Structure 1
Amino acid sequence: MRNLKIKQKILLLTAVPLILTVIALMLVSIYQLRSLGEQEVNQIRTTMMASKRESLLNYIEITESSIRPILTSELDVEEMKRQVYTAVRAISYGDEDGYIFGLNYDGVMTIHAAKPELEGRNVIELKDVNGTPLIADLIKAGRNGGGYVEYLWDKPSRGTEAPKLSYAVDIKPLGWVLGTGFYIDDIDDAVALKQAEVDAKIQATVVISSGVGVAILIVIVLINLWFSNRALVKPILELSESARQMSLGKLNTNISVDSKDEIGELADAIGRMQKSLKVIFKKLKQG
């Protein structure tokens, strides 16, 4: 700082606080936007998940209603199973991804319209790629009065595994649990889309804030430089030149600085010194 000129020091004292202020305001704006964005993202996820849970419960209730006459009939258990199998296997909703599945308590797949090859197989040990024992969890949820289970499962319309939410309910007369599920990758898609919007807003805020901040900084710095040059730098340079001329013996140098601040006091002091030097030189010449 000692090697900097006054104009440079003034520029630093003006620019640095402004830059820090702009950065602070930008960080606050980004934080607020990110917080609001996270709230919106969480709201989307919560709302969509609640809607899917309600729909799953409705589909299972409809299925239970459709097979209730069979379960309350006087048919033997095996005939009940056959008729329930036929009725449930025919149920579909939405698109090809909407179906009802059945499992007995031992984990044997009794109904699976989307993957008939699984029917009759014991899949109790089946786990998804994350290690979730989905069959065991579905049976447990169903026998505990009905419940939801999340896992990854093959999605026919995409040909790949996708996150799925299923609801299972106990069918005690048959020793089965019936369940159905929704793929919830659309929730992730909606969340990703919203997150992209939030990120775009943050990026736009950074660009706009930076542009506005730079513009304001330039204007304020220019005004400050103009004012400081007029009120500080120019008078100081004039006084410096006057002092230099006096050091060369030119005591008639005109000191034109006229202000009421510290620079004015300095000008008055130099003026008094000039008068004193004139008196001293005059006496020396007379002596």
Structure 2
Amino acid sequence: MGGGYQMKTVRSKLLVLVSIPTFVVLAILVLYSTNLVRNIIYQERKLKQKHVVETAYSILEHFYRLAQQGMLTEQQAKDMAKEAIKTLRYEEVEYFWINDDRLPYPTMIMHPTNPALDGKVLDDPKYNCATLMETVSDGKVTKTDGKKNLFQAFVEVANADVNGGYVEYLWTKPLKGGGVTKELYPKLSFVKKFKPWGWIIGSGVYIDDIQQTFFSKMLTYLSITIPSFAVLVILMFFISSSISKPIRALAQRALEFGKGDLTVKFEAKGKDEVAQMAQALTQMADALRESMRTIDESSVQVNSSAQSLASTAEELSASSEELASQMEEVNRSAQNASASIQEVTSGIEEVAASAQNVSKAA
């Protein structure tokens, strides 16, 4: 027995050879497309965060210039900048915060939705949730163990790149009726350092919807791909049947022909390889029939020659018998002659003996 399953029909081989690679290609395309969509959304979200923070950053630059021009004191400029940024909103609920650049743990300068944090050192263990840091200029990504202080990560990435950087972390979501969720959700923030005052300004958005969009797009693509693949399989079934059916018919006729039925005809429509195979089998069958006809004629001639040889052999046999009879007659005559010679010889010997006796007597 064989070591494994072997496909016996052309149709099954065609279905497997076409459907499996097609399925693999479609699966790769679906995964690639959905991942591409997710990456595009993620990059767009990053770029948007960068732009909104840079907009708020320009407010700091504005009040700083007023202080440099002597129109405001530095403290007045800082206070007015904080108030202006505190009121900023985008997408209705998103906001900006400001912390300083002290390490190991910075201090909150201004938080618009939780003013109780203002002036506090941000070293609470609940902030140990940063998972990734990325600088803007070189795109360098640094992954953490998920327990790095969030605001410490803001300072480090902002100090590493004057153009700012991104920090990913896990955070609770606010509930509509008040309070926050127990579950943690991925969030992305962009931060940039305003060096003259040593401030880090940033803003963040939740990015769990990107994963939801990824699965939604995957379901959409699968809802298109699976029916398309099913239609393709059905189409390949009919195509493979149209190919294998005439091949099976030729195989059956060849089997009958091999069993001795020389009247079988090999026929196939079209000009494809199957038709060419039928034509070749027809030529072979015609040649074999011609050979059989020649053999049949030769056998008739051989039979006639054999009968002629048999007749000649009978005639030779009769002649041989007659010759043998004549030889026996000659043999008998020779034997009679030999007996006569012996009698003559005996008479001569007697005469010679009588002559010797007569001589002795004289």
- TM class by shorter chain equals 0.5 to 0.7
Counting only pairs closer than 5 Å after superposition, residues 237-256 of structure 1 correspond to structure 2 as 237=259, 239=260, 256=263
Q: Which amino acid aligns with 1:216?
A: I
Structure 1's 67 and 49: CA in aligned 2 closer, same or farther, altered over 3 A?
same
Distance 2:189 2:36 in 1: 26
- Who is 1:30 aligned against? 26
Pair 1:179 & 2:178 matched: no
Q: Which moved more, 1:33-42 or 1:191-200?
A: 33-42
Assess if the C-alpha contact under 8 Å between 2:98 and 2:108 holds in 1: yes
- Size of the alignment, in residue pairs? 259
1:133 corresponds, among 149, 153, 172, to: 149
- Who is 2:185 aligned against? 162
Assess if the C-alpha contact under 8 Å between 1:102 and 1:112 holds in 2: yes
Q: Which amino acid aligns with 2:255?
A: V
Q: Secondary structure at the match of 1:169?
A: strand
Assess if the C-alpha contact under 8 Å between 2:63 and 2:77 holds in 1: no
Structure 1's 172 and 110: CA in aligned 2 closer, same or farther, altered over 3 A?
same
Superposition CA RMSD, Å = 4.0
Structure 1's 148 and 195: CA in aligned 2 closer, same or farther, altered over 3 A?
farther
Structure 1's 17 and 193: CA in aligned 2 closer, same or farther, altered over 3 A?
same
1:261 corresponds, among 269, 283, 303, to: 283
Post-superposition Cα deviations, 1:58-98, rounded to whole Å, max 9, x if no partner, equal 24334654786578654464x665554444333333233x1
Q: TM-score, normalised by structure 1?
A: 0.68
Give the drift of 1:277: 6.2
Give the drift of 1:147: 0.9
2:164 corresponds, among 147, 165, 172, to: 147
2:216 corresponds, among 185, 193, 208, to: 193
Q: TM-score, normalised by structure 2?
A: 0.56
Pair 1:226 & 2:236 matched: no
- Percent sequence identity is 18
Give the drift of 1:140: 3.1
Distance 1:70 1:105 in 2: 21
Give the drift of 1:212: 1.5
Q: Secondary structure at the match of 2:113?
A: coil
- Who is 2:86 aligned against? 89
Q: Structure with the greater relative contact order (CA < 8 A, sep ≥ 6): 1 or 2?
A: 1
- Who is 1:104 aligned against? 100
Give the drift of 1:101: 1.0
Q: Secondary structure at the match of 2:286?
A: helix
Give the drift of 1:169: 3.1
Q: Tell me, which stretches of 5 or more residues in structure 1 are unaligned?
A: 2-10, 241-254
Structure 1's 224 and 179: CA in aligned 2 closer, same or farther, altered over 3 A?
same
Q: Secondary structure at the match of 1:122?
A: coil
Larger C-alpha radius of gyration, 1 or 2? 2
Distance 1:82 1:62 in 2: 12
